[in-house]
Structure formats: C-alpha cells, structure tokens
Amino acid sequence: MSHADPEAQRGTKPALGAYFIVPLLACGLTLYFLISTWNLIWEARSTGTFIGVILLGLCIAQFVRLGLKVARGEASLGLGDLVEDTLYNRQRLALLVLTGVFIAALPLTGTTVGLFLVIIAMTRLMGVRDWRVLVALAFLAAATVHLLLIYALGSKLPQGLFKSLFSFGGG
C-alpha cells in the first residue's frame, strides 16, 4: 500500500488516515439503513441487512488491518496529500466550489448563460489568461449545449430568468 505514497517516497511514514474515509462512510450508511429500517417488515429489510452485515465485516477487517499498521509504527493516522496546502488542492477546491455555485445558480442563470460563465471562471482558474480564448471556448460549449440539448433534443434543462423574461415579453 505504501509504494506509491508521496510520504513513502520522501522517506516518511505513509499517512493512512484517509484510507479510513470510504469504509467509515460505508459503515455510516449501513448503520443508518439498519436503524432506520428496524421496524419495517422483513422483505423491506432483508437485502440491505444481508449486504450490510457483510459490508460491516469487511470494513472491520479493513480497520483492523490499517490499525495494526499504525500500531506497529509503520504508518501514521494523518490524511497525507489529500488535505495538503498545494496549488493542485487549492485548484480542486475552487473547481468544486465553482461547480457547486453553477448548480445552485442554475435556476436563476439558466443552463446556457450559467455554462458560459462557469467555463470562463474554471478555465481562468486553470491558468488560461487570454480573454479571447476564454470567451471563444465558453461560447462554443454553451452554444453547442443550447443547440443540441435544449433546441434539438428538447431537454428540460433550466433556462433561467432570461427565458422567463422572454416568455413574459412575448406574452
């Protein structure tokens, strides 16, 4: 497990804390399922219980394995490069926030305008400085989506306030 770890390459102990995240999430979902379906009839519970019990067993085995490595001093409980303050992690976080804002603002901006703006913001964030390139790329992508999905295929993608204004204007 430690071969490709940056910590291992630097000669420090591999940080295995992040390896607990996925099994912890899985255990959380399983326990939530088991507790919230406790009062239901057996048909509704059986599959989830069957899978959940196996999953809990697998997660416990994984915890024991990782825990033993930490206990033997071969690894630490740190989160490693997953949370390090690096340029890439900052970019990732910013892209995540931008995508979140894009989704949240979609009913307001509409797909075409929202897409145009978010592509400009994301591409700028990735280091592209030329405004002509930024605008051209965003326009091309937004226009393609509008023509292909909204116009040709009649997708119900949100069209935002602009559409509402046009409908109002058009009576």
List of residues contacting another protein (CB under 8 A): 1, 18-19, 21-23, 25-26, 29-30, 32-33, 36-37, 40-48, 50-52, 54-55, 58-59, 61-62, 65, 81-82, 88, 91-92, 95-96, 99-100, 102-103, 106-107, 111, 115, 118-119, 122-123, 125-128, 137, 141, 145, 149, 153, 155-158
Q: Minimum distance from CB of 82 to another protein (Å)?
A: 6
Q: How far is the CB of 117 from another protein (least distance, A)?
A: 10
Our CB check for another protein shows the closer of 24 and 169 to be 24
CB of 9 to another protein, least distance (A): 15
What span, in angstroms and rounded, lies between the C-alpha atoms of 27 and 170? 54
Q: Which is nearer to another protein, 76 or 155 (CB)?
A: 155
Q: How far is the CB of 166 from another protein (least distance, A)?
A: 21
Q: Cα(110)–Cα(108) distance, rounded to whole angstroms?
A: 6
**Is the dihedral angle over the CA atoms 145, 141, 160, 163 positive or is it negative?**
negative
How many CA atoms, within 13 angstroms, populate the side-chain half-sphere of residue 75? 22
How wide is the angle at C-alpha 14 spanned by C-alphas 17 and 21, nearest 5°?
Answer: 20
Spatial distance between the Cα atoms of 58 and 23, rounded to a whole number of angstroms: 9
